[in-house]
Structure 1
Amino acid sequence: MAKFRYDILDNEIQQKAIKFRRDHGFSNAEPIRLKSLLLKCNVLTVFRQLSEDFSGMAVKIGEDRFMMVNHDHSLGKQHFTIAHELYHLFIQENFISQSCVTGRFDRKDIEEYKADMFAAYLLLPQEGLTMGINPMELSNPDTIRLETVMKLEQYYSVSRRAILQRLKNIGVITNKTFELYKLDVRRSAAAYGYEMDLYLPGNKDLVLGDYGVKAHQLFENDVISESHYLELMRVIGYNPNDQQFENEKNKDIA
């Protein structure tokens, strides 16, 4: 596919990201609270330990949407994965399921490329980025300061690689600065006084959505057996024989 075609494609994806923001009540500048968005969109989301090269997956069955995210990745990387999977679940036509390695922007897989571009546009809107950059840094490629980059990545809660890729995409930096600023990410953030949460794994075994409610309804309606119900609940960390749950139950009774 010729470059011109990719230019058209990128613009189409950007417009879809802008519309998605607008449809869900976000301006073209503010950061997105992804956990709140997932709950609002009724996307059952599970954070689990996956292999290092496995970012996540998405499944859509009818109107039901499911997402799994690798909690061993940094929070910044997880946020990009969530936005990537939102493309599959809400934008891609005739989508059923997909296992993903996000952030590669690989044109050999067109849907994965579009999902990466959608994530970049959704999380890092150009209007917001340009508002957050000094006009002198904005108008002269490769003059943007590292502290400006870190301020943007903190504000939008994305990884260093994601913000650098986006700045490169809009012409603020060249590959030279990209390669320079992608080094020593945690050390540089700590040196400027930022907390490390964004750069470390998190959301261990977290479940967002009504997984437990749906499982309980299936049990109450005799669709599944008690043993099947308990098996489903153990997936999200509930064990009725756990002493912690016994203590909590006794408190409720008292």
Structure 2
Amino acid sequence: MARSDAAARALLTQFGIDDAPIDPRLIAEKLGVLVVPQDMPDDVSGMLMRRGDEQVIGVNQKHHENRQRFTMAHELGHLKLHRGRPLILDTDTRVNFRDTVSSMATDREEMEANRFAAALLAPEAMVRRAARDAEFRTAKQLVHLMAGRFGMSEMAMNYRLINLGIIADPTPTP
């Protein structure tokens, strides 16, 4: 099991969460992390700021609710897995941004945070159980059903189902 998956599973276990949809805002609150909706440029989904014991997740409030949920989970991944990157400010604040570059997942930390977010919002056991119990005829229907069940975009659920080996190929998403 990848480090990202194990960290997500540990967090769900820590808070006794065993049913979807998972609420990443509630998890953040339980960890003492303030979540702040903000106006951000369209290509920035969110950011994590840490200074000492204070942690704040900023989320682009203009983005769709499902994208905001994934962004919160992604930033929680950075919190649990990564030390953060320095931002040049006149303070000792460390910031992780989630933007169009990070969402392409070409950087190891960004890939880990994306994997953590998927594992947090759509835990493997829950996804397998829901897929087994779902009534569908096509992979596209399954993706649509599962995206609604887990509060994720169809694109994110598509990748999750592929990564879990439940479907073989990407399905067209709106």
Instruction: Please confirm whether the aligned pair reaches a TM-score higher than 0.5, indicating the same fold.
Output: yes
Q: Supply the AA of the counterpart residue of 2:8.
A: A
Larger Rg: 1
Q: Is the 8 A contact 1:105 1:116 kept in 2?
A: no
Gaps of 5+ in 2: 86-93
Deviation string 1:117-146 (CA, Å, 9 cap, x unpaired) is 1101111111111111137999xxxx6443
Normalized per residue, the structure richer in helix is 1
1:165 matched to 2:163? The reply is: no
Counterpart Cα distance in 2 of 1:94 and 1:81: 16
Residue 167 of structure 1: how far off its partner (Å): 0.6
- TM-score with structure 2 setting the length: 0.83
Normalized per residue, the structure richer in strand is 2
Q: Is the 8 A contact 1:105 1:117 kept in 2?
A: no
Q: Is the 8 A contact 1:153 1:160 kept in 2?
A: yes
Count of residue pairs brought into register by the alignment: 165
Runs of 4+ residues deviating >4 angstroms = 135-138
Identical pairs, percent:
27
Secondary structure of the structure 1 residue equivalent to 2:44: coil
Q: 1:69 to 1:136 in 2, by over 3 A?
A: closer
Residue 36 of structure 1: how far off its partner (Å): 2.2
Residue 147 of structure 1: how far off its partner (Å): 3.5
Q: Is the 8 A contact 1:56 1:99 kept in 2?
A: yes
Aligned to 1:86: 76
Aligned to 1:34: 24
Q: 1:39 to 1:136 in 2, by over 3 A?
A: closer
Q: Supply the AA of the counterpart residue of 1:45.
A: V
Q: Is the 8 A contact 1:34 1:79 kept in 2?
A: yes
Gaps of 5+ in 1: 1-9, 184-254
Aligned to 2:111: 113
Secondary structure of the structure 2 residue equivalent to 1:84: helix
Q: Is the 8 A contact 1:77 1:158 kept in 2?
A: yes
Q: Is the 8 A contact 1:48 1:68 kept in 2?
A: yes
- TM-score with structure 1 setting the length: 0.58
